[in-house]
Structure 1
């Protein structure tokens, strides 16, 4: 039986999520199709997550070769996992996720390599996984699209950054609403 299917809720809950920013690295981002837009979505989403006290974990793939994460991302990550495997779980991601947070929101690069392999492993581990489609990228559009198709079939939820922001907030009465709304409207 698929444990992930049992635990998957139809709703994303800010108190139950961890934002995972995958490989937003200096030498990689210029090669990513629409890399600057993807980076901006990741930054805005991280800012909203920070307002709502949602943990943020970053990853860096072979930083000696690809450089570290872009400076604009680093301050948002409470932890950054340096990895050699494409699947961040093989380098300690699962152990870094707070134990009571079973929903993982993934953003970053490349969709068809590190994002996909990490997401598939998290699903296998029983996590409820969402992919922010306007916050992930690959060098080629076809690779990104096929990866998103495969992830959806595997049980990942496909969402946009704006959908996520409003779902995290739940209500205009949320104390972070005005600040988050200003970020969502950018």
Structure 2
């Protein structure tokens, strides 16, 4: 494995797709997914990784859940695919690795990931921070994204690849997020 295949905090952006108040109660395992997204946000803040968030139809689905609110700038959208919103694409630097979590895996999240991959972006999907109402919808969506080139990772993989070494000045603080 080359270092190019590892996630690098210095060239990553955490993208949080549609973790919204009115949607989350219907999402399978929602509280655990939100807790993992919060761990990612906290690690990003410790390590200087920028965060970008989206909200699908916020008037209908509500704003971002309280646990994640304020983590980064929010792009409101009506399109399922975040890439259809020019402000979303404008917020992404060309050379960034994109670490994505969010909902729903088979709708807004999946369409966003597939569009980013079609644009030749390096995309890492944090499977334990991605949700759908039905577990089978999430499973099928993850397999599809992986077939198209997304790397499927976990919250813990992201945090420790961003750190790289136990000698990192933020190691102690970041590793506490996982425990």
Q: Deviations over 1:59-86 (max 9, x none)?
A: 0000000000012212211x10001101
1:176 equivalent to 2:155? Answer no
Partner of 1:60: 55
TM-score normalised by length of structure 1:
0.92
Query: Which structure 2 residues correspond to residues 140-155 of structure 1 after superposition, within 5 A?
Result: 140-155=134-149
User: Which of the numbers 81, 84, 96 marks the counterpart of 2:78?
Assistant: 84
Whole-Å Cα distance in 2 between the matches of residues 55 and 99 of structure 1? 14
Whole-Å Cα distance in 2 between the matches of residues 159 and 173 of structure 1? 23
Question: 1:121: Cα distance to partner?
Answer: 0.7
Whole-Å Cα distance in 1 between the matches of residues 77 and 70 of structure 2? 19
TM-score normalised by length of structure 2:
0.95
1:163 equivalent to 2:157? Answer yes
Moved over 6 A (4+): none
SS at match of 2:16: strand
Partner of 1:6: none
Whole-Å Cα distance in 2 between the matches of residues 111 and 149 of structure 1? 11
SS at match of 1:112: coil
**Structure 2: segments with no counterpart, 5+ residues:** none
Partner of 2:128: 134
SS at match of 1:19: strand
**Structure 1: segments with no counterpart, 5+ residues:** 1-8
SS at match of 2:19: coil
Partner of 1:113: 107
